[in-house]
Structure 1
């Protein structure tokens, strides 16, 4: 995941920032901000709205570690790099602030929140408290053929892990868990679980890079979980879910 990165000489930490492909740029390079990072990550998935494109790009950069903990980013400068107005960038950053990924710095921009290992452990604990009982209940009631329908989602996580694509893995991992929990028929559960899941995927400050072998092993747990759910092996279901929350992809 090594990339060529530009540096903002006036940034407090001088941290690296992601580049933007030419097709995503609106200025052919542009000037740098005085005190903030100037280059946003490239959006991977284009949605119906500009705000959605920018939000996807920034979430990808968070997962990949390209938006660095403690670094300050300016909405107007990011907008210049994306070739859009500052409004959709600011709106996307405001959404990330609501999700706890960044904090607003008045008259300056948005700073990526520094998150520690303890916070990630707490998120894993909360997810287990919510999702383990739900999955155990589903294991008792959902027929085997319904679980088999989720195989393509499990396979998607395995493919992303094999490529070492953290952002694609994070997205496919959320899709798998969302499909499992959706079988409970509780919309509020899905909203709460999705928020916790996304927060759990943002790396902690100074965290070591995710090893490829760990990501592959984490993805393999999806297939193993489906097998346990089909077999209604409750002990294995509980063990796999708890371990998965502590894994590389969560």
Structure 2
């Protein structure tokens, strides 16, 4: 039995002015419980794709349909205001540069994941509901950062910062989690910890989509891989089917 389809992307386009399209007629689906890697050369459109799904970058054409098989499917790319904030709570985002607040302690950074529900003013004065604080503590224990809960974020290592960012995203209880190059600046030990965490998240029936550069990481951790070249999908399937020929097509110089 196939898992629930959480996202359907249909003929998605993105261009900036008169420049060459970044994304061209891209179509794919995303299912609950998947850990999907997006791979390709720098500039292939990987980050743009994730940001369009999350609503931080506008689309030029096509549709991003949230929960297409539900009774209330939505065109996520058209959402604004409160509806967009609600979508972002269902579709969490982990940014490459972590986006933590350096002067705040770790647990407050995690609690900021509830900002859309708590409100900015209440968050500034740390008036978080008890259940949110308990959830933040659970997530810090799960990420192995409970001992750093009261430490300022500016004093964390890169690996620790990324795990805080993951915990913050999970505070939203998302159905979908997007991770934009989450291990690009991490050493092998922290890379393993972060990728294992993403595997555990997908095992909770959450769909995870992650931009990666390493084919080895794709084959070790991911259930599906989508290869993009010049904004178009070259491959969409099992990591085991990622042959040398397909890799060459994905990573070929577009000018050659």
Larger Rg: 1 or 2?
A: 1
Structure with greater strand percent: 2
* TM-score, normalisation: structure 2: 0.26
Structure with greater helix percent: 1
